[in-house]
Chain A
Amino acid sequence: METQSRRKFLGSCLVGTAIAAVAAALYPLYRYLAPSQSGTGTAKVTFAATEVPEGEAKFFEYAGSTGVVVRTKGGLIALSAVCTHLGCIVQWEKDKQDFLCPCHAGRYTPEGTVISGPPPRPLPKLPLTQAEGKIIIG
């Protein structure tokens, strides 16, 4: 009985040590492979208002993703350029004045509302301000 409990105790110690060793190996491995936090923040993006003439769009990197600002007759709108269907980047169709996702032909209005195709949601809006001839996103 005493031998059995000693064996059980030693077995538990061995299993505990093995689990600790595996955890000690997996933690650095996870940290090593985890995506870098730099570039995913919400740092502001600024550019001159003249870079976006009426009827045209400008794409930019924002918070580790892609954004787009478009100037319509109604004014400036900043949107995420990532299609809500499967994550492709939408393209601005100047002649039709809408966004087209080339992957599966999803279409959006300049305000990001879905016109046709498979996208389940509109393009998310990004915060936009204008000051002293500059466009500030974020």
Chain B
Amino acid sequence: MSLFKKIYHWIDVRIGSTEIVEKELTGYLLPKNINEWYSLGSVLLVIFALQVVTGMLLLVYYVPDADKAFKSVTYIMNEVPFGWLIRLCHAVGSNLMVFVLMLHMLSTLLMGSYKSPREMNWISGFVLFSLVQGISLTGYLAPWSQLSFWATTVATNSVTAVPLIGTGLVKFLRGGTLVGPATLGRFFALHVAIIPAVIAALIGAHLFFLKRTGVSTPPFGAKETQNNWEGKSYRYEFHPGGIPFFPNYALQDATSVSIYLAIFFALIFFAPTLFFTPDSFVPANPFKTPAHIKPEWYFLANYQTLKIFPSELIGLLVQVAAMTVLALLPFIDRTKERHPLKRPIFLTCAIGGILLWLGLTIWGHYS
């Protein structure tokens, strides 16, 4: 018996690991027609883990003080060995996390996986998406550059459109009338402690819901594409005769993670400034607003929506309405059919929504 097998046996007789492996890995059967899109959840788990690790490493040298933050980031980028790599991993990773999360939601949307009994999976995922945007926004201020300072000013200023309490809310959010050292303090606390803890808890809840309901069957390549859950009693969706999670689908997960890492490192090594504008290399100056300050790409559609309406309040209400419809989609769309090609109204709305979002983003970028 090899040393590895001896160690495994030693653990197995104590905690019954073979039973766990059979139940959760080799005996955990997935739909026969499962596709690559289902591996995006695993990719997101890897991205989140990488963000946590690189974030912890940045904390070794980063100083969350308005007078020292920019200097400490410059020090990380220029002086600390491989500091540039850690920082770029964190900055590029945050952008890709939002992008992959959008793809994950899009695949769930098109395959109708949000439909009952998976409403809680969808809602927890939607809240996770909002929190990821929140953690990106709060982290954006951390380098205390001209870009981070003024992008935060613009982003937080949109809250003033809220009737009656808008001005007070912005002041509370910023810790003062304008973005300043107090904003950095509270955004830093949100970025490194509060939001990550909530995200971790929600990931746990999201996986718990997945575990309890079972993996949904993709509508592609299946004869039955209708959602046949009656809603009368709890039912775990088994996939008899399906493919085992390990090693079959774990290999797909590993492939998707490898493709992601290839793109991730290609961006870091060959396009390191893709997510940085020249203003991100200049320390914040509260007395000098740079020209054409824009938020991050994933907020450009929101930014442009606020601009095209004559009143900021209408712009904000339109966004709140769109987000509410998206969040409550499983309760609005109660149809049984899950195949996108058999849902022409849904597909038209979905493609229209995506094109609208893309159009607003491009418009926001060039406006």
Residue ranges of A at the interface with B (Cβ–Cβ < 8 Å):
28-29, 31-34, 36
Contact = CB atoms under 8 A, between A and B. Distances in A.
Most buried by A among B57, B79, B80, B82: B82
By DSSP majority rule, is chain B's interface helix, strand, loop, or mixed?
loop
Contact of A31 (B60, B79, B81): B81
Interface residues of B, number: 9
B246 to A, nearest CB: 16
Contacts of A28: 81-82, 85-86
B41 interface: no
B60 A33 contact: yes
Contacts of B80: 32, 36
A23 to B, nearest CB: 14
Nearest to B261: A21
Interface in B40-99: 57, 60, 79-83, 85-86
A44 B85 CA distance: 35
Most buried by B among A31, A32, A33, A34: A32
Nearest to A32: B82
A33 B85 CA distance: 13
21 contacts: A28-B81, A28-B82, A28-B85, A28-B86, A29-B57, A29-B82, A31-B81, A31-B82, A32-B57, A32-B60, A32-B80, A32-B81, A32-B82, A32-B83, A32-B85, A32-B86, A33-B57, A33-B60, A34-B81, A36-B79, A36-B80
A31 B83 CA distance: 9
B210 to A, nearest CB: 28
B77 to A, nearest CB: 12
Nearest to B89: A28
Contacts of B79: 36
Contacts of B86: 28, 32
Nearest to A31: B81
A96 B81 CA distance: 47
B59 to A, nearest CB: 12
Nearest to B58: A32
Nearest to A33: B60
A36 B83 CA distance: 12
B296 to A, nearest CB: 26
Nearest to B85: A28
